[in-house]
């Protein structure tokens, strides 16, 4: 297993377009998280799945954002009608049931909205 994989690494899109990002977690990890990181800031929590169930969503996750993890494996994060303020690094992480021992992060998807 090569860790948490995110695709694409970079995405440039025009304002108003929809974008979708994919995350493939470590196969034996049942928990999956999405975070957003803007320049000069620490990551901010967006949402969290345990298996296929989305257990928590941040208030940052407006109705333009949706995340899925249909079979409890990979996850997608979709942003509809992108705005310039959505420009950020989107980080995915996974952990085992004993997640207190830390997450494994992917390398992130950098989104630029022009």
Partner 1 sequence: GEDVEQSLFLSVREGDSSVINCTYTDSSSTYLYWYKQEPGAGLQLLTYIFSNMDMKQDQRLTVLLNKKDKHLSLRIADTQTGDSAIYFCAEIPTSGTYKYIFGTGTRLKVLA
Contact positions toward partner 1, by CB under 8 A? 4, 6, 31, 33, 35, 40-45, 48, 55-56, 91, 93, 95, 99-108, 110
In angstroms, what is the minimal distance from the CB of 113 to partner 1?
A: 19
Nearer to partner 1, 22 or 110 (CB): 110
Q: How far is the CB of 7 from partner 1 (least distance, A)?
A: 13
Q: Token digits for 78?
A: 């979709």
Whether the Cβ atoms of residue 44 and residue 58 lie closer than 8 Å to each other: yes
Q: Which residues contact 69 (CB under 8 A, 6 or more apart)?
A: 32, 49, 51, 52, 54, 75, 76
d(CA 54, CA 70): 10
Q: Which is nearer to partner 1, 70 or 101 (CB)?
A: 101
Q: How far apart are CA 103 and CA 92, in angstroms?
A: 10
Q: Name the residue nearer to partner 1 (CB basis): 60 or 114.
A: 60
Q: How far is the CB of 16 from partner 1 (least distance, A)?
A: 27
């Amino acid at each position: 297993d090569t860790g948490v994989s995110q695709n694409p690494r970079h995405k440039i899109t025009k304002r108003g377009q929809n974008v979708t990002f994919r995350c493939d977690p470590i196969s034996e990890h049942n928990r999956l998280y999405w975070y957003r990181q803007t320049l000069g800031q620490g990551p901010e929590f967006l949402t969290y799945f345990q298996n296929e169930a989305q257990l928590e969503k941040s208030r940052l996750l407006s109705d333009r954002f949706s995340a899925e993890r249909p079979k409890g494996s990979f996850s997608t994060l979709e942003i509809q009608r992108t705005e310039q303020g959505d420009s950020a690094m989107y980080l995915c992480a996974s952990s085992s049931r004993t997640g207190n021992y830390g997450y494994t992060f992917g390398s992130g998807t950098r989104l630029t909205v022009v």
